[in-house]
């Protein structure tokens, strides 16, 4: 990928911002199982970083997707996975469809404040009974006069306890499962919404993950993003950016995990020499670094294809799959060389280990990625 002065400037700005405004607070936010999303997003909005690829009319910078990828990579400098994930939800998961297909009024009222950092957004696809199988969601939005009346529940929703609005996927008709869905912007203070539960997790501690109930929630039909019945298609498109973003975001954390481990292993002595001096250790770290750089190359290649306008579904899926596999492999291998220290809660590598486990499950599990890749390989059996 060819990097410009603007790419470098984004990297520099984020490095400074993360060092000054985020990393000093990460341990406290992790312990509190929450971070101040409005405060952090406002500062990022003021720096112009929440709308790199969004239209200029909404306050964005209208740059191509390589800039989002560079930002996702740079956010890997944050000392936890939760805060970058929350930022990624705002910039590349809850807002791409709104930017692309939303009406002028919707973009003015919801996209522009999200880009400015005045609103926190979340994306509501998964439900208690449907995650991997997006077509199986049960939440409905029934037409009543000029409104939709929404009933159902969304589960695992990142940012949802602090969010101002949700980009919600709901069934808006009785048509076939891929043609009956719409994306709707739902303000989170609408009567009938209950933030039923904050879900405790094994990692991504600073991120709020909610179970949200919808009980006769009324929003105007004008809050629908784009055409009725195209929500599934829009969401599948939106997933491509989410998956590229997630793959890019993993790279720096994995590299840091290896570097920190080499530093520790160099200092720690066993059997008369440093842990690092044992060939099995430095060879293993060399192998892991090679894997991470292969991931970087795959992410850049997928990004180039996306920027050139091609269908990137297969490549984004391969990039996400590889990043999620490595997010399990690398921290697990590195933890080994820290001995008992690696098994303690506050160790940086144990945080990578806990946070990194999410990738293979969320945003399309590894098996979902394999299914997509197999489909593009024409090796996936047709379902009867």
Ligand X SMILES: Cc1cc2nc3c(=O)[nH]c(=O)nc-3n(C[C@H](O)[C@H](O)[C@H](O)COP(=O)(O)OP(=O)(O)OC[C@H]3O[C@@H](n4cnc5c(N)ncnc54)[C@H](O)[C@@H]3O)c2cc1C
125 forms part of the interface with ligand X (CB under 6 A): yes
Query: Of these, 275, 358, 369, 372, which contacts ligand X (CB under 6 A)?
Result: 358
Question: Residue 47 in 3-state DSSP?
Answer: coil
Query: Of these, 58, 95, 172, 209, which contacts ligand X (CB under 6 A)?
Result: 209
State yes or no: is 242 an active-site residue.
yes
Query: Of these, 75, 324, 362, 372, which contacts ligand X (CB under 6 A)?
Result: 362
Give the C-alpha distances (Å, rounded to integers) separating 317 from 113, 240, 246: 30, 8, 10
The residue to which tokens 């999200």 are assigned: 114
Find the helix or strand (DSSP H, E) in which 215 lies. strand 209-220
| Least distance CB 366 / ligand X (angstroms) | 6
361 forms part of the interface with ligand X (CB under 6 A): yes
Give, as ranges, the residues between 84 and 113 that touch ligand X (CB under 6 A). Answer: 89
201 forms part of the interface with ligand X (CB under 6 A): yes
Interface segment toward ligand X; rule CB under 6 A; list 9-17, 43-51, 226-234, 366-374 = 366-374
Please state, in angstroms and rounded to a whole number, the distance separating the CA atoms of residues 77 and 68. 15
132 forms part of the interface with ligand X (CB under 6 A): yes
Give Cα 319 to chain centroid, integer Å: 14
Give the x/- contact pattern for ligand X in 27-46, rule: CB under 6 A: --------------------
Please state, in angstroms and rounded to a whole number, the distance separating the CA atoms of residues 210 and 63. 32
126 forms part of the interface with ligand X (CB under 6 A): yes
Question: Residue 135 in 3-state DSSP?
Answer: helix
Residue 117 or 124: which CB sits closer to ligand X? 124
Please state, in angstroms and rounded to a whole number, the distance separating the CA atoms of residues 371 and 189. 38
- Marked catalytic residue, from 30, 228, 241, 242: 242
- Residues 6+ away with beta carbon under 8 Å from 63: 6, 52, 53
| Least distance CB 162 / ligand X (angstroms) | 12
Backbone φ, ψ for residue 307 (5° rounding): -65, -35
What amino acid positions are annotated as catalytic residues? Answer: 242
User: Residues interacting with ligand X, by CB under 6 A?
Assistant: 89, 122-126, 131-133, 156-158, 201, 204, 209, 358, 361-363, 365, 367-368, 371
């Amino acid at each position: 990928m060819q990097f410009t002065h603007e790419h470098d400037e984004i990297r520099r700005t984020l490095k400074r911002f993360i060092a000054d405004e985020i990393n000093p607070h990460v341990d406290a936010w992790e312990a509190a199982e929450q971070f101040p999303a409005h405060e952090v997003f406002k500062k990022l909005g003021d720096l112009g970083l929440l709308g790199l690829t969004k239209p200029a009319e909404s306050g964005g910078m209208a740059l191509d997707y390589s800039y989002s990828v560079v930002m996702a990579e740079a956010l890997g400098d944050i000392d936890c996975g939760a805060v970058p994930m929350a930022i990624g939800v705002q910039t590349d998961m809850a807002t791409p469809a709104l930017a692309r297909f939303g009406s002028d009024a919707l973009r003015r009222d919801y996209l522009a404040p999200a880009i400015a950092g005045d609103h926190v957004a979340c994306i509501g696809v998964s439900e208690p009974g449907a995650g991997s199988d997006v077509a199986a969601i049960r939440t409905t939005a029934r037409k009543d006069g000029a409104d939709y009346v929404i009933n159902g529940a969304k589960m695992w929703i990142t940012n949802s306890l602090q969010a101002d609005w949700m980009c919600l996927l709901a069934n808006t008709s009785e048509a076939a499962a891929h043609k009956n869905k719409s994306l709707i912007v739902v303000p989170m203070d609408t009567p009938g919404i209950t933030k039923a539960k904050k879900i405790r997790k094994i990692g991504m501690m600073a991120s709020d993950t909610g179970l949200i109930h919808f009980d006769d929630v009324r929003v105007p039909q004008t809050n629908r993003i784009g055409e009725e019945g195209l929500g599934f298609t829009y969401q599948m498109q939106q997933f491509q950016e989410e998956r590229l973003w997630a793959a890019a975001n993993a790279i720096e954390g994995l590299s840091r995990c290896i570097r920190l481990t080499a530093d520790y292993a160099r200092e720690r002595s066993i059997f008369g020499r440093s842990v690092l001096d044992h060939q099995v250790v430095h060879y293993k770290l060399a192998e892991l670094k090679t894997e991470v750089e292969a991931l970087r190359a795959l992410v850049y290649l997928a990004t180039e294809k996306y920027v050139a306008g091609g269908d990137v579904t297969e490549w984004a899926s391969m990039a996400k799959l590889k990043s999620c596999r490595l997010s399990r492999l690398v921290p697990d291998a590195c933890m080994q060389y820290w001995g008992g220290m690696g098994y303690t809660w506050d160790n940086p590598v144990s945080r990578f280990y806990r946070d990194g486990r999410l990738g293979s499950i969320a945003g399309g599990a590894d098996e979902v990625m394999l299914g997509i890749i197999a489909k593009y390989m024409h090796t996936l059996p047709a379902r009867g």
